Amino acid sequence: MCLALIVCLALIVCPARIVCLVACPTTPAARLGAAAGDQPAGTTSRAGTTRMPQDYIAGMTWGWTGVRGTWTGPAADRSMNLMVERLATTWTAIAFAAYQDNPQSTEIQFRRAPTVTDDEVRAAIVHAKSLGLAVCLKPVVNCTDGTWRAHINFFDLDVPCEPTWAQWFASYTEFIVHYARIAQETGVEMLCIGCEMVQTDRREDQWRALVAEVREVYSGLVTYNCDKYQEGQVRWWDAVDIMSSSGYYPVDDWDAQLDRIEQVVSAHGLPFFFMEAGCPSRTGSEHLPNDWSLPGAASQEAQNAWYEAAFAATSRRPWVRGFVLWDWPTPLYDEAGAATDRDYCMFGKRAEHTVREHFTTRTSS
């Protein structure tokens, strides 16, 4: 951390913690543009690792699923440029998938196609930072056979000739630590170490060991993206810096879910944001926003109603520190066809204005 940036230094004693607070510059470039090896500006630090951003996280997921050959060039740059221009984002999650064959496979093949190359990951980070964005790097494991990653699972007691949790976590740790090193060298502000890994959540000791290995090579913020409804099931939240979850809640259920989540957040005393949240633009999706295969006609109204409800409900909860929405692909579809698009991206749709208005209001207040 550059000494010239230090305005004041204070120690605040909290329950079970001593937090070192550093006052940071207020310009967007200074707030978001920390160099690799430095504490990202606009954050606080504890025990050598960076802490929660001081500003609201106005974020969008970019680039999913990270298909090799699609992250560099004019189309990719245009996609990210428009994301910032249309939505007034200040953060992006650069998200991509690596693959294991099926839910009981123990090898994550992150160096192989179709996963983006390391150079593509670095190029996306560099471009995001050139636009003034803070970055969360989000490597995710998927199953080649199409099974949702939440069902990756093994026997809790090892059985001869059967795959084991130890084998899987060895490969998964190698996968995450690889990208933690890239996050460190490129000055990424946050690393997401897992996404919606529901069956793995109970493996507390192995997750704690993984976080410890990540911290050996990465000094930025660490979060875990638990699945919707699972916020209270993770017993190792204290190992990470920030709690986050997937906020795919029905349009009329936000207050009830936020009441539930607030109890979990209060119990752990950590910052919280939604690492994912979004709704397809199709009839009925506002009631089941996590179902990307739901039948229904294209409906900008349904998507926009969901965003209005989500933003209204969370704006009354100061402990919700922001959103990284789902999602903004590369390349983008033709804007002229936005009215017939039924997916999550709001490019050229009514919800685009709703997101921009919310993000602008929250980041300027």
pLDDT in tens, 191-235: 999 999 999 999 999 999 999 999 999 999 999 999 999 999 999
CATH code matching the domain that covers 27-364, chosen among 1.10.10.10, 3.20.20.80, 3.40.50.300, 3.90.1300.10: 3.20.20.80
What ranges make up the beta strands (E) of the chain? Answer: 9-14, 17-22, 43-46, 49-53, 57-62, 91-100, 134-143, 190-195, 221-226, 242-246, 272-276, 320-328
Given pLDDT bands bounded at 50, 70 and 90, which one contains residue 365? confident
Compute the half-sphere exposure of residue 201: CA atoms within 13 Å on the CB side of its CA. Answer: 22
Look up residue 338 and give its two tokens. 């936005």
Higher pLDDT, 24 or 215: 215
**What pLDDT score was predicted for residue 17?**
29
Query: What is the enclosing helix (H) or strand (E) of 171?
Result: helix 165-185
The strand ranges marked E within 230-269 are 242-246
Residue 263 CA to residue 232 CA, distance in Å, equals 9
Is it the case that residue 246 has pLDDT exceeding 50?
yes
Amino acid at 311: F
Question: Directed axis angle between helix 300-315 and helix 254-268, to 10°?
Answer: 40
pLDDT at 126 over 60: yes
Task: Please compute the mean of the pLDDT values over residues 245-262 and round it to a whole number.
Answer: 98
pLDDT score for 52? 58
Give the distance, in angstroms, between the CA of residue 10 and the centroid of all CA atoms in the same chain: 30
Asked if 236 and 204 count as a contact pair (C-beta separation under 8 A), the reply is: yes
Bridge partners of residue 276, in order along the sequence: 246
Whether 38 shows a pLDDT value over 60: the answer reads no
* Per-residue pLDDT at 49: 41
CA pair distance 277, 275, nearest whole angstrom: 7
- pLDDT beyond 80 at 255: yes
Q: What is the pLDDT of residue 37?
A: 38
DSSP label at residue 115: B
pLDDT digits over 56-96, tens only?
999 999 999 999 999 999 999 999 999 999 999 999 999 99
State the CB neighbour count (10 A cutoff) for residue 177: 16
Most distant CA pair in the chain: distance in Å? 59
Cβ-based neighbour number of residue 11 at 10 Å:
8
Q: Say what the pLDDT of residue 25 is.
A: 28
- How far is residue 220's CA from residue 49's CA, in Å, rounded to a whole number? 6
What mean pLDDT do residues 134-156 have? 98
Please name the residue that has the structure tokens 């949790």. 165
**What is the share, in percent, of the chain residues with pLDDT greater than 90?**
85
Sign of CA dihedral 229, 100, 214, 190: negative
Per-domain boundaries in the chain: 27-364
pLDDT bin (cut points 50, 70, 90) of residue 20 is: very low
| Residue 189, pLDDT above cutoff 80 | yes
Quick check: helix, strand or coil at residue 353?
helix
Instruction: Give the pLDDT confidence score for residue 54 in this predicted structure.
Output: 75
In which band, very low, low, confident or very high, does the pLDDT at 3 lie, cut at 50, 70 and 90? very low
Torsions phi, psi for 20 (to 5 deg): -95, 115
What is the rounded average pLDDT of the residues 260-267? 98
Q: Which residue has the higher pLDDT, 294 or 45?
A: 294
Give the SS3 label for residue 235: coil
Residue that the structure tokens 């930072």 belong to? 129
Alpha carbon separation from 226 to 64, 93, 139, 202 (Å, rounded): 18, 15, 14, 12
47: tokens are 């025990």
Say whether 246 sits in a helix, a strand or coil. Answer: strand
DSSP 200: G
- List the one residue out of 149, 131, 130, 147 whose CA is nearest residue 139: 149
More reliable by pLDDT, 29 or 91: 91
Q: pLDDT tens, 309-344?
A: 999 999 999 999 999 999 999 999 999 999 999 999
Paired tokens of 182: 């890239």
Tell me the pLDDT tens digit for each residue of 146-186: 999 999 999 999 999 999 999 999 999 999 999 999 999 99
